[in-house]
Amino acid sequence: MSFDWLEYLNLAQELAGQATKPSSQEAKLRSAVSRAYYAAFCKARNHLRGEGHSIPRFKPHRYVIDQFLDSPDRVSKRIGAHLDRLRKDRNKADYDDRVVRLSDMTRKALKLADHAIIGVGNL
């Protein structure tokens, strides 16, 4: 069965304290995948800014991921790989009508985001 995109509105209302009905577990899991990506992405982006990088307005996600993937540093490469996987899963969660094994994807996204954020903090 396809995802009912109106569930995102229910979740938004719930988060804002204005819920008229509870949001679905699927909406919560999809949002968790998305938020996990953005937590890691913004932490990595801000790290690059702190190192003097000018983040482009056009394709900033690709730029940030590539800066880490193209680094000679092993930890940075791993961060880039985590960000790349997270972004792919975030796109599935945000745009696909059906997501296979969403619970597994969510668990993995939370773990990858945590590892990426810790890695950035250790650079």
9 in any annotated domain: no
Question: Rounded to whole angstroms, how far apart are CA atoms 43 and 59?
Answer: 17
Instruction: Count CA atoms within 13 Å of residue 30 on its CB side.
Output: 24
8 in any annotated domain: no
61 in any annotated domain: yes
19 in any annotated domain: no
What pTM does this model have? 0.94
pLDDT for res 24: 95
pLDDT for res 21: 87
Residue whose C-alpha is closest to residue 89's, from 114, 107, 77, 70:
107
Domains of the chain: total: 1
**What domain range is 54 assigned to?**
25-121
pLDDT for res 27: 96
pLDDT for res 89: 98
4 in any annotated domain: no
2 in any annotated domain: no
Mean pLDDT by 10 residues, the chain (123 residues): 91 92 94 98 98 97 98 97 98 97 98 98 95
Cα angle 110, 112, 117 (rounded to 5 degrees) comes to 95
Contact between 90 and 37 (Cβ < 8 Å) = yes
